[in-house]
Amino acid sequence: MVRVTMVHGLVLLVALLGGGSVLARDLTLAEVHPPGHIMVQSEERLGTRLAEATKGALQLQLKHSGQLCNESQCWAKIKDGSLDIARVNMAELSKDLAAVKLMSLPYLFRSREHMWRVLGGEFGQRLEAEAAKNGAVVLTYYDSGTRSFYSSKKPIRSLADFAGLRVRVQNSPVYKDLIEKLGGTPVVLPYDKVIEAFKSGEIDAAENNTPSYVTSGHYKYAKYYSLDEHSSVPEVLVISKKAWTSLSPAQQQALKEAAVDSSEFMKKQWADSEVQSLAKAKKEGSVITEKSQIAMSGIEGYAVKLYSKYITDNADMETVLAILRTK
Ligand code: GTR
C-alpha cells in the first residue's frame, strides 16, 4: 500500500536535502515467484533503480512467494486499488481484456521477437487501453519464454496422450478450452496449489516455461517434460490507477524507466535461465521430449479450433490477421 512510514525518516531527510520528493513512500509489489527466480531478480533490480532515481523517495516493498495474494487475487486487488503493483502472467487478465484472450491463442506467435514487435505496436496500445478501463496501468512486460506440457504419468508425444489426462491450467478460459479440445480435463488451480494437486493425484499434468517448471519444484512430481511450446504469453507489471495517479509526473517517469530497464535486464538473462533450469531438471531425472519427437501437426490442428471460438467478429479477425502479418 502507498503509505508514509516513520522508518523512512532518514530517507526523507536525504530526499529533502537532495531536493527530491518531500515524502518517502513504499510501493508494494506482489509477486508469486520465490527468490532466485529470474523474475524476482529483475524486480529487485527495479527496486534498486527506483530508489536511486528518486533519491530514496520511492521504496519498492517486494512481497515475493505469493505472500500477499495468488495471481487472480492480485489482479483483483489492482483493479480495486487495494494493491499498488503486481506482476502477473498476462493469462490472468484474459477474463477482462479481450486483447489478451486473442493473444493467448496457441501457436499465434512465430517467435518471441514476433511477440515483442506485436506488443510494441498498435496491439500493445489496444491492450493498454483495455487495462486502463480496468483500473490498471501497464508499466512493462517481461519475457516468459514458451510454455510446454509436463506430466507425472508418461511423455506427451501426440494428441492421443491427452486422453484421460487431468491438466492444471491458469485461470484463463482459453487454456481451459485448449485442454478440452486436446481431449484432456482442465483443472484450474492457483500456482501454489499445483504441487499438492500432483501429490494427491488431483492432476496428472500441467504446463509452464522451464524456469518456472524448476523453481516451483513441479519437476520433482512431473518428470516427463515435452517441449511443444504451445504458447508464449508474457508477464505484465501493472500498477493500480489509484497508486499511479498518486505519484508525481517525475516519480511516474522514474518508475516507468526502472520497470523498462528491469524488463530489458530479464530479456538478456532469460535464455541463460532456461538453459540452466533445463540442465538442472535433466540432472535430477526429468525426461525431456524434444519438439521434433512430438506429433505436432495433430496437436496444432486441434488447438487452432479455438480460433473460431475466440475470433468472434470482424474486428477480432482484423486484430489476429494484423498480428500474423507483423514481421
Ligand atoms: C509462471 C508465471 C506465473 C504464473 C505461473 C502459473 O510461468 O511466471 O506468473 O502464471 O506460470 O502457471 O500459474
Question: Across residues 258-284, what is the average pLDDT?
Answer: 96
Q: Is 71 in the pocket of ligand 1 (CB under 6 A)?
A: yes
What gap in Å lies between CA 59 and CA 46, rounded to an integer? 10
**213 close to ligand 1 (CB < 6 Angstrom):** no
DSSP 18: T
Contact 15, 55 (CB under 8 A): yes
Which is the closest atom of ligand 1 to the Cα of 91?
10
Closest ligand 1 atom number to CA of residue 207: 12
> Is pLDDT at 73 greater than 90 in this prediction?
yes
Ligand 1 touching residue 198 (CB < 6 A): no
140 Cβ closer than 6 Å to some ligand 1 atom: no
3 pLDDT more than 70: no
Asked if residue 59 has its Cβ within 6 Å of ligand 1, the reply is: no
Q: What is the pLDDT of residue 180?
A: 95
Question: Which DSSP string do the residues of 208-259 spell out, in sequence order?
Answer: E-HHHHHHTSGGGT--EEEEEEEE---EEEEEEHHHHHTS-HHHHHHHHHHH
The ligand 1 atom at the shortest distance from the C-alpha of residue 168 is 12
How deeply is 139 buried, as exposed, middle or buried, from its count of CB atoms within 10 A (0-12, 13-18, 19+)? buried
Report CA(169)–ligand 1 centroid distance (Å). 10
- Give this prediction's pTM: 0.90
Give me the pLDDT at residue 10, please. Answer: 43
**DSSP reduced 3-state for 167:** strand
The rounded Å distance from CA 90 to ligand 1 centre is 9
Mean pLDDT value of segment 14-38: 75
User: How much is the pLDDT for 196?
Assistant: 97
Of 66, 84, 85, give the one whose Cα is nearest residue 1.
84
Looking at ligand 1, which residue's alpha carbon is closest to its atom 5?
191
The percent of residues in the chain predicted with pLDDT above 70, rounded, is: 93
Span 184-206, pLDDT tens digits: 999 999 999 999 999 999 999 99
Quick one: pLDDT band at residue 278, thresholds 50, 70, 90?
A: very high
CA nearest ligand 1 atom 6, residue: 191
Q: Which residues, other chains included, contact 167 with Cβ-Cβ below 8 Å and sequence gap of 6+?
A: 149, 179, 184, 185, 186, 187, 203, 204, 205, 206, 207
Please report how many Cα atoms fall inside a 13 Å half-sphere around the Cα of residue 116, on the Cβ side: 12
Cα(323) to centroid of ligand 1, in Å?
24
Q: What's the rounded Cα separation, in Å, for the pair 278 and 100?
A: 28
Find the mean pLDDT for residues 11-15. 43
Q: Which three cell numbers stand for residue 214?
A: 524448476
Asked if residue 17 has pLDDT above 90, the reply is: no
> Does ligand 1 lie within 6 Å of residue 207's CB atom?
no
Ligand 1 pocket member 104 (CB < 6 A) = no
How far does residue 16's CA lie from ligand 1's centre (Å)?
Answer: 40
Please tell me if the CB atom of residue 208 comes closer than 6 angstroms to any atom of ligand 1: yes
**pLDDT tens figures, 109-155:** 988 899 999 999 999 999 999 999 999 999 999 999 999 999 999 99
Confidence tier at 305 by pLDDT (50, 70, 90): confident
pLDDT (0 to 100) of residue 22: 53
CA of 191 to the centre of ligand 1 (A): 7
Domains of the chain: 22-143+233-274 (3.40.190.170), 147-232+279-313 (3.40.190.170)
Query: Mapping DSSP to helix (H, G, I), strand (E, B) and coil, where does residue 326 land?
Result: coil
pLDDT exceeds cutoff 50 at 34: yes
Q: What is the mean pLDDT of the chain?
A: 92
Lowest-confidence segment of 21-35, 90-104, 236-250, 265-279 by average pLDDT: 21-35
Residue nearest to atom 11 of ligand 1 (CA): 208
